[in-house]
Amino acid sequence: MRVLMLNGPNLNLLGTRQPDVYGATTLADIEQMCRTHDPDAQMSFVQSNHEGAMIDAIHAAKTDHDGIILNAGAYTHTSVALHDALASVEVPCVEVHLSNIHAREPFRNHSYIAPVALGQIAGFGAQGYLMALDALRLHLVD
């Protein structure tokens, strides 16, 4: 299984950014957790604060990856372009959020990613990435 782990804006600050909301785990910690959890998966980790770079990574995934695990950060709630990129590549995607976006500010309740994702995992912190790996593997086996 070849997986693109794509993280959006401000996720490079995990561990120091609002730890009461996002926890103390860093993005490097999450990458190591994922590699340990599923050592047979070939994972590519990309983090960008730029929407265009994220779109380019999604486009490249069409030929390089079997699936995408995406934490689009705030772009979840604003980016029709990410939605369209995911729809156009037709690579299975699992949407992940560290916090429960449905229990936060009303503007965070809407996801442009959800309609083109296999499913959404939100509110379980870093464990959500491991859940997403398991869900993606199960989907690809079926």
pLDDT one-digit tens code per residue, 18-69: 777 667 889 999 999 999 999 999 999 999 999 999 999 999 999 999 999 9
Terminal alpha carbon distance of the chain: 13
Cα distance between residue 101 and residue 8, in whole Å: 15
Q: How far is CA 15 from the centre of its chain?
A: 17
CATH of 2-141, one of 3.40.50.720, 1.10.3210.10, 3.40.50.9100, 3.40.50.410: 3.40.50.9100
Residues 6+ apart with CB under 8 A from 82: 51, 54, 55, 58, 70, 72, 75, 112, 113
**For the chain, what's the residue count?**
142
For residues 128 and 7, the answer to whether their CB atoms sit within 8 Å is no
Mean pLDDT of the chain: 94
| Strand pairing category for 42-47 and 2-7 | parallel
User: Which H or E run contains 89?
Assistant: helix 80-89
Region 73-85: what's the mean pLDDT? 97
Give residue limits of the domains in the chain: 2-141
Give me the active site residues, please: 22, 97
Which pair of structure tokens corresponds to residue 7? 């993280």
Residue type, 30: I
The percentage of the chain sitting over the pLDDT mark of 70, rounded to a whole number, equals: 97
